[in-house]
Structure 1
C-alpha cells in the first residue's frame, strides 16, 4: 500500500483474512487500501472521460472492471466485510462504458471502411469485430464486418502446371494435387483466399492476383556409371599344408572392380505472381530440386580370401533395376514442393 499498489494490497489483505480471519495487520490495512484503490480508479475514470481519445471508454470500462473485481474479492471474505461493509459495485456504469466502447469501435470501423483500401478494410474488420465483442448486435456491425472482410480479402487464382510430356503426366498430376491440397487447406491468413482455375470460373471470381507455376526445365534419368578397380592382397593366409599336415602361409591376391551408378533427376520450378489489374509481376521466385538414385555392386578376379567381408558382400550384390522415370520425376519435385509452400506461406501469412 505504501508503494501505491492499492489493488495488490487489497488482494493480499483479503487473502490473509480468508486464511486467518483475525489477522490484525490485514484488518487494519484493508479499509484504507480499498479506499485508496477506489479513489484511484474513480480518478482515472474521470480523467479518461475528459480526454479526447477515441477509445477512452475502454479505459473507463477497464477501471470499473477493476473496482468490481475488488468488491467481489471482499464479498467472498466474511472477515473482510466486518471492516469494509457493503462495498458498492458499479454494474450499470460498467455496462454503459462497455456499450460506449463498442459504439466507438463501430464508428472507427466505418471511418476505416470508407477509406476504400484493402489495408483500411482489414483494420475496419477488426474494429467491427471488437465492436461485436463489446456491444453484441449493435446496429449492423455484423454486416459491416462482413463487408470489411470481403473488401480486405486478396483473391488469388492458381494456374495449373503445364507439363508437355504425357510420359510424366501421372507424376505431374500428383505434384499438382499436392499443391491443390495446400492451397485448399491454407488458413494462416484469413484475408487470403486461393482458388483453382476451375473454382474461379465456376464461382465467377475476379482475381486480385494470378499465381502461375511452370518448370523452366527438367531432366530425368541422367545416368553415370563409375568403375573403380582395387588390387588387393593379404599376407599370412593359409594356402596349403605340408606332408606333416602343418599349415603353409602365403599371400593371396585379387582384383576388385567396384561399380557405382548414379541416376540424377532435377528440375527448376518458376513461381510468378501477377497483379490482375496492372499485369505487373509482384513476385518471382525459382525453386530447384534434385534427386539422385544410387546403386553399387562389385565383382572380383583372383582369390576371394584377399577380400574383406564387406567387399565380399558387395560382390554378391546384383545390379538393381532403377525406379521408373515417373517415380524419379516425383522424387525431384519433393524438395521443390517444400520450398514452394514455405515461400507462399512466408509471402502471404501477413499479407
Structure 2
C-alpha cells in the first residue's frame, strides 16, 4: 500500500512539473506571443538545453516584438487624445519580455540583446500626462460639480503618468474643492425634558456616523457648530425631525384557564390504601406589552434653491413584554411551568428614556443605510 501511495504521489508531482514547464508551443500556435515567450523562458530556466523551448523563444519573441511595435505605430496615428496610454501599455509589455529574458542565461543565447524602450516609455508617459492635464483643464472650466469631479481624476491620472507634471497636483486640489458637496446636518429637536438625555445620545450616534463617513471623499458633513465656526457655506442641509413618537403605551391581556387533573393522590384509608381524586384550579395568565414607536423624517434641501432633493421617513418600534400568572384552587392541578409563572411577580418596565432609545435603534440603522446609499456615488 505504501508503494502504491508513493507511486501516485510521484505521478501527481510529475504532472504538476510537466504542466508548469510547457515550452509555449501551444500559445505560439494560438497567436498569444507574449504568453509563448514567458512559457519558453520558464522552461529554459529549468531545462537550459531544451530544443523545442529554444525554437519557440526565438520565433515567439520576434513575433511579439513586431506585434507590439505595430500596435504602437497604429496607436500613434489615431486621433484619440488618450492614445498614449495604449502606447505605454505596449512599451511596458516589450520591456517586461526583455526583463524576463535577461533573467534567464540560457535565453540570452537565443535572444542576445532583447529590445528595451525606456526613453520611449518615459516620453509616452509624458505625452499621456499632457493629454490628461489638458482634459482636466477643459473640464474644470465648465464650472459645475460633476465636471470638477471628472477633472480631479484627470489631474490624478496626469500625476500618476508623470509625477510633478506642471501644477497638476495644485489643479487636482482645486478640482477637489470645486467637486465637493458640503452638507450641514441640523440637530434633532425633541421638546421634552423626559427624553432629552436619550435624544442627545441618539444625536451623538448620528454625529459619530457623519464624522467617520469616508465612503465618498467628495461629500463632507458638518454639524451646525462646525459650519458656523469654520464659516462654511453649505451646498445642502440635512434635517432630521420626529414627525411623531409615542412612548410607553401599555396593554395588559388576561387569559383564564380552567384546570383539572385526575388520579391525584388525596390521602389514604385507615388500612393504608391510597385514595385518588380529581383536583381543580382556575389559572389567570397576564400578558403585558409596553409599546414605543416613532417616525423620523429625513429631508435634504439644496441650500441655494431651497428645493427638497430627498425626503424619506423611517419608522421604529420597540415592544417590551412581561408575563405572570395567579391561580385559585388546588395548585396540584397546575404543571411545573404554570407554577413557575405563578411564582413570578409583575416586572416594572424600563423608564421612558430607555424605551425612547430602544425604538430609535431600528430608525438609526435605516437612516445611516439611506444616507450612505444616497451619497456613495454623489
State the TM-score bracket (shorter-chain normalisation). over 0.9
Matched, 1:302 2:337: no
Tell me the residue number matched to 1:322.
349
Aligned equivalent of 2:13: none
Is 1:191 paired with 2:218?
yes
Which ranges of 4 or more aligned residues in structure 1 deviate by more than 4 Å?
none
Q: 1:165 aligns with which of 181, 192, 203?
A: 192
CA distance in 1, matches of 2:47, 2:331: 90
| Structure 1 Cα separation of the partners of residues 133 and 371 of structure 2 | 33
> Which residue of structure 1 lines up, in the alignment, with residue 15 of structure 2?
none
Moved more, 59-68 or 246-255: 246-255
> Is there any run of 5+ residues in structure 1 with no aligned partner, and where?
none
Question: Residues 104-119 of structure 1 correspond to what in structure 2 (within 5 A)?
Answer: 104-119=131-146
Q: What is the Cα deviation at residue 166 of structure 1?
A: 1.1
Choose the corresponding residue for 1:137, options 158, 164, 167.
164
Residue 245 of structure 1: CA displacement? 1.4
Equivalent residue, structure 1, for 2:365: 338
For 2:81 and 2:118, how far apart are their aligned partners in 1?
23
How far apart are 1:246 and its partner, in Å?
A: 2.1
Q: Tell me the TM-score normalized by structure 1.
A: 0.99
Q: Distance in 1 between matches of 2:29 and 2:116?
A: 25
CA displacement, residues 73-115 of structure 1 (integer Å, 9 cap, x when unaligned): 1111111111111212111111111111111111111111111
Query: What is residue 182 of structure 2 aligned with on the other side?
Result: 155
CA–CA separation in structure 1 for the residues paired with 2:168 and 2:68: 31
Counterpart residue number, 1:75:
102
Structure 1 position 87 matched with structure 2 position 114: yes
CA distance in 1, matches of 2:92, 2:240: 54
The correspondence for 1:233, drawn from 260, 264, 268, is: 260
Compute the displacement of 1:236 (Å).
Answer: 1.3
The answer for the alignment partner of 2:69 in structure 1 is: 42
Matching residue of 1:23:
50
The total of aligned residue pairs comes to 351
Report the TM-score, using the length of structure 2 for normalisation: 0.92
Pick from 88, 93, 113 the counterpart of residue 61 of structure 1: 88
Q: Where do 5+ consecutive residues of structure 2 fail to align?
A: 1-27
Q: Distance in 1 between matches of 2:226 and 2:161?
A: 37
- CA–CA separation in structure 1 for the residues paired with 2:208 and 2:273: 75
Q: Report whether the alignment pairs 1:313 with 2:340.
A: yes
SS at match of 1:189: coil
